[in-house]
Amino acid sequence: MSSSEACKPVLKLDWCSHAAAKYAVEHWHYSRSLSASKSARLGVWEDGVFIGVILFGWGNNRNMPKMFKLDQTECAEMLRVALTKHAAPVSRIIAIAARLLRAEFPSMRALVSYADPSQGHHGGIYQGAGWIYTGRSASNEAYEVNGVLLHKRRLTGGSYGHAPPPMPAGAKRVVPPAKYRYVLPLDAAMRAQIAPLAKPYPKRLCAVTSTPPGAPERVGGATPTTALQP
């Protein structure tokens, strides 16, 4: 083992609590919000220090699996990649997360994720992990609230027996650009099915950070709280 390899932090991914996921997303993801859908939560640690979370679940488009002739037990969306400063490449972290998810849910055959160009993202982490770019999603209506873009469903969708919540004061309707869609097949047959849909990878737009303009940079402490332990 070389000296550089000996100095690399020990990377660990494991299932984590809702509290840990909420902390990571609110501190280290540009949305600052946890997805409302049911999710599978994989915490990430380096040398025992909690550095973030990878969230999988069902996104706003519940018909998305049908695009690949799958049902909801066979396809999930990578909803959030919320990480503070770290040494391991993000592409490696999400590759490990995908393997752990498949091991926990053997019926899973494909993962989908979206890169948001309105945040300066082009999907470099998915390209580095070998995901297949299949084109852009439909552009969805959203609202800007205090400088944060929120999907229409989060503001106008009610639940069974409950009316939609009131629209926040000052909410501004916007139509953000369509997102880049990436797919990771989880078996050989699925890869053969998705491969013909592949398009050239989008190029990098610009260098961005996950911290909104004017907001202080927030990083995790060296000692996680009990809720953030593996």
Q: What pLDDT is attached to residue 186?
A: 96
CA dist 5 → 2, 9, 86, 88 (Å)? 5, 9, 16, 12
Percent of the chain with pLDDT over 90: 53
pLDDT per residue over 78-124, tens digit each?
999 999 999 999 999 999 999 999 999 999 999 999 998 888 889 99
DSSP 101-154: HHHH-TT--EEEEEE-GGGT---HHHHHTTPEEEEEPPP--EEEETTEEEEHHH
Q: Are residues 126 and 196 in the same domain?
A: yes
Q: Are residues 134 and 144 in the same domain?
A: no
54 in any annotated domain: yes
217 in any annotated domain: no
Q: Range with the lowest mean pLDDT among 61-70, 76-85, 107-116, 208-217?
A: 208-217
Q: Are residues 53 and 160 in the same domain?
A: no
Q: Are residues 19 and 63 in the same domain?
A: yes
Please check whether residue 136 is in contact with residue 180, taking contact to mean a CB–CB distance below 8 angstroms.
yes
Total domains in the chain come to 2
Q: Are residues 18 and 113 in the same domain?
A: yes
Question: How far is residue 150's CA from residue 21's CA, in Å, rounded to a whole number?
Answer: 19
- Mark 45-76 as b/e (b = at least 16 C-beta within 10 Å): bbeebbbbbbbbbbbbbeebbeebebeeebbb
Residue predicted with more confidence, 119 or 15: 15
- Domain containing 156 equals 140-176
91 in any annotated domain: yes
Please check whether residue 150 is in contact with residue 69, taking contact to mean a CB–CB distance below 8 angstroms.
no
- Mean pLDDT across 18-45: 90
Closest alpha carbon to 210 in 6, 27, 4, 22: 27
Q: Are residues 181 and 157 in the same domain?
A: no
77 in any annotated domain: yes
Q: Are residues 111 and 156 in the same domain?
A: no
pLDDT per residue over 151-178, tens digit each?
555 555 544 445 556 667 777 777 668 8
Please check whether residue 95 is in contact with residue 102, taking contact to mean a CB–CB distance below 8 angstroms.
no
Q: Range with the lowest mean pLDDT among 43-57, 110-124, 187-201?
A: 110-124
105 in any annotated domain: yes
- Mean pLDDT across 6-12: 84
Q: What is the CATH number of the domain that holds 62?
A: 3.40.630.30
The H or E element that residue 83 is part of is strand 75-83
Q: Are residues 92 and 189 in the same domain?
A: yes
214 in any annotated domain: no
55 in any annotated domain: yes
Would you say the pTM of this structure is higher than 0.75? no
Q: Residue 67: phi, psi to the nearest 5? A: -60, -30
Q: Are residues 103 and 64 in the same domain?
A: yes
Closest alpha carbon to 70 in 194, 170, 210: 194
Q: Are residues 144 and 93 in the same domain?
A: no
Q: Are residues 70 and 164 in the same domain?
A: no
209 in any annotated domain: no
Is residue 215 over pLDDT 60?
no
Q: Are residues 11 and 93 in the same domain?
A: yes
